[in-house]
Homo-oligomer: A and B are copies of this chain.
């Protein structure tokens, strides 16, 4: 059994597992787009290219912890793994609802496949269409929010911003004990409230608590022409994944195909004051992606090339 200490650490993890970071063509080096954001014991899947379920298993992620899937757009390399994954979850006896968030026409595309391939489902698949023109809250639970990011690609496309909700402040046990503060008041204090003693003395929150951990955030921007106007939503994001399909030699091609170059991704990370930039969605033409890394690092030093099965801890 996991010890309480390890369990706490596990619950407080915020990490991203790269299942696939290739472009439209799967190669021997890369699977199609897919990654998992894991936090507080939950997995959130972003995009689901062919082979996602295979990679999910290979990375020893638990299907049972997956409740929500976010699909950026309905190009095959971001979507073709979905029906297989849904079908496998059914075979595994899943009963919990599964939410799939994606741009229209998600329902028209997926519903006939579900009706034919999964006629007897043990669980419900709930299809939620994303408005790709808006930056809005599309999911939240007690600890996290997911916001859409309007991207600009050949078809309606959305990025995703995962933001932890603020952590509670830490009580200073010696102060709590010294002032004999009752249990019922502690939650308010952890949330920032001051406390007034029975004699009317006001104890400021800063005397009773220390700072909470910083809330972390992760943004996923793929596939898109770089969108500088999104930087205002992503200020100080801890980790930014941005597609870098091409190098600067192919800037015109990037624009024509609604993609970005490594330099553009790096410039955007700079404008966001991101902590770290992950790049991916590499065109199959780059046998050595370090070309893309170098170009990005000239502008934004803390850039990292993603590879399958990388785990990035925030």
So how many copies of this chain end up in the complex?
2
Answer whether residue A6 sits at the interface, using C-beta atoms and an 8 A cutoff. no
Answer whether residue A92 sits at the interface, using C-beta atoms and an 8 A cutoff. yes
Answer whether residue A164 sits at the interface, using C-beta atoms and an 8 A cutoff. no
B26 touches A117 (CB 8 A): no
B83 touches A76 (CB 8 A): yes
B91 touches A24 (CB 8 A): yes
CB distance from A232 to the nearest CB of B (A): 34
Closest to A50 in B: B84
Q: Which A residues have a C-beta under 8 Å from some C-beta of B?
A: 24-28, 31-32, 50-51, 53-54, 57-58, 74-77, 80-81, 83-84, 87-88, 91-92, 109, 112-113, 116-117
Closest to A109 in B: B116
Q: How far is the CA of A28 from the CA of B53 in the complex (A)?
A: 10
A91 touches B25 (CB 8 A): yes
B76 touches A87 (CB 8 A): yes
B25 touches A58 (CB 8 A): no
A83 touches B80 (CB 8 A): yes
CB distance from A169 to the nearest CB of B (A): 44
A25 neighbours in B (Cβ, 8 Å): 88, 91-92
Given A50-B81, A51-B54, A54-B31, also A26-B76 (CB < 8 A): no
A109 neighbours in B (Cβ, 8 Å): 112-113, 116
